[in-house]
């Protein structure tokens, strides 16, 4: 970290700042220019509050030279992480597609969708049991019954399941869930992330609606700091000024996250676009950009879906998308 001091900084001020920084366990290198004094901080600066330093009258600017995320950082873990899920692998050379409805609605619905996406080649079944809806009057999910139905579909198809958690108190219900999803709205629910750090199940961490990649990686860091290294990052579109689409798919997040971190990166083109016909081009683009996987919403009757029907593919459309994605994947690997 580099701290630039103003020309007005007095000797006493500089000495007391250096003493404080050394008290934080840092080595301080001083260099003096014609007007400015530069303090180079060496050591673990992750505990240093940049805004606190910037707020000091004698400080001109502060620049972090290394990232505040350590466990998720590729610098300290050059190889891609490969995460195991119910006998499958995701990350590195391993690519997986997660598919299923936005919400689990009934035994017939989840089972028929599971069977069709499985037949198309999807490896992991998705389905929401706890739904984070903008309106409290909208369908909130089947809760524990939804998880039971997913487990039944898992039994019938052999597919591992991924479903969203919204409250750490619900963890006992997720005992047999293969991947626990943290949705966009909970990306910075730090108490939830800490609890998920205490278990060893894979966590699919979705990027928040208006969060930077560094914030996403810091949220992964919360989980990893507890010892759970099984984190999969998910780009699901961010909120921008564009409103023809539900969100804007930040495709550059894929190569950037892969550069910054060793964690697998998957893309959710369904929430990113909000429009079923855009799912295919966005899924293909995500794979071309290097995604380790996709999460796609599929419904047997999108027009009557209880949640996110407009962005849901029919099983036939999903089959088509899967074939296209496979060809792109072959072309780029």
> Which residues contact ligand PEP (rule: CB under 6 A)?
102, 128, 132, 183-185, 206, 236, 268, 271
Looking at the Cβ atoms of 102 and 287, the one nearer to ligand PEP is 102
Question: In whole angstroms, how close is the CB of 289 to ligand PEP at the nearest point?
Answer: 18
184 binds, among Mn ion, ligand PEP, none (CB under 5 to 8 A by kind): ligand PEP
Report, in Å, the least distance between residue 207 CB and ligand PEP: 8
Angle (CA) 143-184-78 rounded to 5° is 120
Cα end-to-end distance, the chain, whole Å: 38
Nearer to ligand PEP by Cβ, of 28 and 173: the residue is 173
246 touches, from ligand PEP, Mn ion, none (C-beta below 5 to 8 Å by class): none
> Could you give the C-alpha distances from 131 to 87, 224, 233, 318, in angstroms and in order?
27, 25, 20, 22
Q: Which is nearer to Mn ion, 68 or 274 (CB)?
A: 274
CA 203 vs CA 47, 84, 89, 117, 197: distances in Å: 25, 11, 14, 22, 9
Q: Would you say 160 or 302 has its CB closer to Mn ion?
A: 302
Q: In what order do the strands lie in the sheet with 59-63?
A: 27-32, 37-42, 2-5, 59-63
Question: Cβ 206 to ligand PEP, closest distance in Å?
Answer: 4
Residue nearest to ligand PEP (CB): 183
Q: Which is nearer to ligand PEP, 195 or 268 (CB)?
A: 268
96-100 vs 59-63, strand pairing mode: unpaired
Question: Residue 220 has what DSSP assignment?
Answer: H
Using the rule CB under 5 A, is 102 a contact of Mn ion? Answer: yes
Q: 281 by DSSP, 3-state: which?
A: helix
Helix axes 107-120, 315-332, angle to 10 degrees: 30
Region near Mn ion per CB under 5 A, out of 1-9, 43-51, 58-66, 303-311: 303-311
User: Nearest Cα to 325, choosing from 117, 126, 181, 153?
Assistant: 117
The CA distance from 101 to 264, in Å, is 23
The residue (of 271 and 299) whose beta carbon lies closer to ligand PEP is 271
Task: Choose among ligand PEP, Mn ion, none what residue 149 binds, the Cβ cut-off being 5 to 8 Å by kind.
Answer: none
Which tokens belong to 248?
């804007």
Residue with Cβ nearer ligand PEP (236 or 258): 236
Q: Residue 168 is encoded by which pair of tokens?
A: 């750490």
The answer to whether residue 308 forms part of the interface with Mn ion (CB under 5 A) is: yes
Please state whether 232 falls in left (phi above 0), alpha (psi between -120 and 50) or beta. Answer: beta
Report the partner that residue 107 touches, choosing among ligand PEP, Mn ion, none (CB closer than 5 to 8 A by kind). Answer: none
**CB 130 → ligand PEP: shortest distance, Å?**
10
Using CB under 5 A, list all residues that contact Mn ion.
102, 308
């Amino acid at each position: 970290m580099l701290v630039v001091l103003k020309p007005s900084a007095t000797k006493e001020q500089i000495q007391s700042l250096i003493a404080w920084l050394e008290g934080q366990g840092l080595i301080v290198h001083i260099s003096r220019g014609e007007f400015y004094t530069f303090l180079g901080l060496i050591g673990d600066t992750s505990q240093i509050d940049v805004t606190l330093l910037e707020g000091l009258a004698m400080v001109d600017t502060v620049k972090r030279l290394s990232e505040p995320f350590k466990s998720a950082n590729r610098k300290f873990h050059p190889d891609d992480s490969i995460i195991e899920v119910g006998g499958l692998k995701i990350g590195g050379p391993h690519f997986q597609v997660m598919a299923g409805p936005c919400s689990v609605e009934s035994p017939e619905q989840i089972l028929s969708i599971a069977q069709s996406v499985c037949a198309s080649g999807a490896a992991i079944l998705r389905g929401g049991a706890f739904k984070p809806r903008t309106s409290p009057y909208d369908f909130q999910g089947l809760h524990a019954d939804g998880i039971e139905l997913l487990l039944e579909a898992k039994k019938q198809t052999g597919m591992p399941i991924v479903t969203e958690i919204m409250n750490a108190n619900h963890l006992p219900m997720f005992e047999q869930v293969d991947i626990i999803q943290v949705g966009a709205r909970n990306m910075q629910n730090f108490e939830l992330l800490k609890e998920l750090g205490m278990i060893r199940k894979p966590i699919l961490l979705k990027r928040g609606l208006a969060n930077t990649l560094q914030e996403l990686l810091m949220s992964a860091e919360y989980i990893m700091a507890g010892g759970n290294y099984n984190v999969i990052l998910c780009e699901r579109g961010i909120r921008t000024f564009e409103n023809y689409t539900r969100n804007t798919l930040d495709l550059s997040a894929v190569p950037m996250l892969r550069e910054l971190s060793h964690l697998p990166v998957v893309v959710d083109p369904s929430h990113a676009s909000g429009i079923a016909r855009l799912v295919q081009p966005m899924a293909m683009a995500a794979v071309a950009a290097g995604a380790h996987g996709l999460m796609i919403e599929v419904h047997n009757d999108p027009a009557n879906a209880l949640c996110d029907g407009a962005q849901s593919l029919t099983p036939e459309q999903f089959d088509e998308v899967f074939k296209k994605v496979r060809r792109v994947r072959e072309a780029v690997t």
